[in-house]
A and B are shown apart, each in its own frame.
Chain A
Amino acid sequence: GAGVSQSPSNKVTEKGKDVELRCDPISGHTALYWYRQRLGQGLEFLIYFQGNSAPDKSGLPSDRFSAERTGESVSTLTIQRTQQEDSAVYLCASSHTLGASLVGELFFGEGSRLTVL
């Protein structure tokens, strides 16, 4: 497809289980971001990937959170031993860059809504 694709769109899990969220960015976009949005709240930066550079993991809230990206394509966000406070919508966005600089806005996926019971 032409846009950013995320899966699953909805995930309900039990506390303590691991979950994996997937993001397929727009082809050719070297920059990829993960954000978390709790109900009625703003966007909380989690992690940023730029090409083959080391990712900026400064926003990951705990060591239960990790993310990987294969080259300049698919990314997965993994949450281990989920807690109820992890319930949120996880948004992925991608953008085009020129060298290391963004050249425009982010394009967002529809998000993965995670509910931890």
Chain B
Amino acid sequence: ELKVEQNPLFLSMQEGKNYTIYCNYSTTSDRLYWYRQDPGKSLESLFVLLSNGAVKQEGRLMASLDTKARLSTLHITAAVHDLSATYFCAVDEEWGNDMRFGAGTRLTVKP
């Protein structure tokens, strides 16, 4: 069964600081997704990573994928309060279409 693990689950950081969220998964896949969820809202897509070594950047967020290590990272640069949200990674199993989600990382950025 495909398992997706994120860490940390909770992250409190100061504005202006950098940090990385990690997403490990248990099976062969070269398709990984990052989503953002604001409190009381649904999920919106942030990044789609579709190959080994893929790197995507949007503003202060950068996501990368290492399919050999079965690891994706979401790096936050110079955090701002607006980035406070819960971030989920999700993996689409190579030989199936079960899109499985990690437990989410609840990020709080403090002034």
Chain A positions near chain B (C-beta within 8 angstroms): 31, 33, 35, 41-43, 45, 48, 50, 56, 58, 91, 93, 95, 97, 100-102, 104-111
Return the chain A residue nearest B6 by Cβ: A42
Is there an interface contact between A48 and B97, defined as CB atoms closer than 8 Å?
yes
Is there an interface contact between B42 and A109, defined as CB atoms closer than 8 Å?
yes
B25 at the interface (CB under 8 A from A): no
Is there an interface contact between A108 and B97, defined as CB atoms closer than 8 Å?
no
Residues of B in contact with A, size category: 20 to 34
Give the dominant DSSP class at A's interface. Answer: strand
Min CB–CB distance B81 → chain A (angstroms)? 21
Is there an interface contact between B45 and A107, defined as CB atoms closer than 8 Å?
yes
Binds A, one of B14-22, B62-70, B99-107: B99-107
Find the residue from A45, A56, A58 having the highest chain B CB count within 10 A.
Answer: A45
B41, B92, B97, B103: which contacts A41 (Cβ < 8 A)? B103
